[in-house]
Amino acid sequence: MNKGKVYLVGAGPGDAGLITLKGIRAIQLSDCIVYDFHINPRLLTYAKEGAEFVYAGKRGGHHEMTQDEINAVLVQKAKEGKRVCRLKGGDPFVFGRGGEEVEILHEEGIEFEIIPGISSVIAVPAYAGIPVTHRKVSSAFTVITGNEDLSKQDRIFTHIRASNAAETMIFLMCVRNLETITVKLIQEGLKPETPSAIIRWGTRPEQKVLTATISEIAQLAKEHKISPPAILVIGDVVSLREKLNWYEKKPLHGHRILITRQLTEEYLSLEDMGAELFVFPTIAFLAPEDYTELDRAIEKIEEYQFIVFPSPRGVKFFFERFMTLGKDMRNLRGILICAIGRETAKSLRDYGINADIVPEEFNSEAMAKTIREEILRFASAQNEGKRILYPRSDIALKGFVEEMEKYGIKVDAPITYRTVKPTEHGKRLARFLREGKITIATFTSPSSFNNLIDILKDDARDMLKEVVIAAIGKTTAKAIEDAGYKVNIIPEKSTIKDMVEAIIKWAQQK
């Protein structure tokens, strides 16, 4: 029997950028992803199409799956011949029970691979501006689990030196026992005025840092209603936060931005500015169910003077079918190529084609005017007999076709790809919206908005009432406003890059 393989992957402390390249590769290769609650959902976007997702997390003491059940799933999926990615927060072997999971795999004779992750032990203090060691302040650090019954575990504190030597102490999972920890440390000789910090949701938009002396931190945490996940840092290094704090100063820190389409490079500058991206494409793209119209257009491709590609998906699906039918780029000789937007133009370059026309404006009337002007420039002054091929989606509006026909120019618009509504991870999105964890939502088409409303159903209006809405252009904004929602951000040009810049500018003005 083919027993498959299990990758035990440390996903880092929360920021999606703090996963290793090898960890991403394991996600991409796997047929099944078994993931925990604290995992940044953006990491799941690296999974291949058709991958199975198994949620195994625990939250606030509630276990979605017991450890025995998790072990059983890993074994079962591997014995089905699947590659399994066990995606765990931080590092699997730092208080992560990864060792237990690997022992079971060993006993079952299942191949496994350990991919370490960046632990919250070092990353969370770093994002709070606290180095765990510093040549002039602390020459060592100790990591202790804080979720045991410490009143009965005196031995945990025997290493604490009453001399108050330069050492940083880091307690993970400490909230429930915070007062016990601090009282016992003082009893064992730690100076009550020793600096300390409690950091909740480190490296994430919700990151909250409280600093106080060791004698005061428990009360302060209680007043601010600090709940898990949080870590406690004790030592003189905490005093460096005043100078070294950097993460919370980023313009978009505190924002989690909903991306309702596939993630592209243009969005990544939002992360550079401190935002976290929640990627939830409300549209997925598939080949058409019936190729008749598209095949007919491709077979007579030489009859067209122009091909207008409305999107990167149009480029991809058109050329996949084009080449399946035995055509190649020589068949496009003499045809002028128009790309709607820079992303579409970039997709064409992947096929060795430089677009002849890239309109500055993307509404139907402006595009039709530009195309007509180009026809007059490249060809005779007569529109008669001119034909345009417009490979479109199944839900694309025919405004462009109608505008061109006003000029007497014939447009064939075969369905080249179709759109469907994905629902994977919809529950997590709904929870994030319900809990106010998403602050900005972006939409690049009316359908991206309408599909989200359909997915959220009757709760949509309540979930989105506090969310800032960004629309890529006037057409999308109108669809959102017609549904009774307010659009807060509209860029001057209808591109993702300009929408991203408008979001950053909006945040900087706040």
- Cα distance between residue 15 and residue 182, in whole Å: 29
Active-site residue (options: 31, 77, 173, 499)? 173
36 has catalytic annotation: yes
Active-site residue (options: 3, 58, 250, 369)? 58
58 has catalytic annotation: yes
Phi, psi at residue 258, to the nearest 5°? -85, 125
462 has catalytic annotation: no
Yes or no: say if 487 and 255 are a contact pair by the CB < 8 Å rule: no
Which residue, among 495, 444, 490, 474, has the nearest Cα to 340 in the 3D structure?
495
Query: Using CB atoms within 10 A of its CB, is residue 476 exposed (0-12), middle (13-18) or buried (19+)?
Result: buried
Active-site residue (options: 15, 31, 36, 91)? 36
DSSP string, 389-400: E--EETT---HH
For 12-22, letters b (16+ CB in 10 Å) and e give bbbbbebbbee
Whole-angstrom Cα Rg for the chain: 28
- For residue 343, give the H/E element and its range: helix 342-349
Which residue, among 90, 95, 55, has the nearest Cα to 73 in the 3D structure?
55
Tell me whether strands 208-213 and 52-55 are parallel, antiparallel or unpaired.
unpaired
Residue 445 CB neighbour total at 10 angstroms: 24
Q: Which positions are catalytic?
A: 36, 58, 173
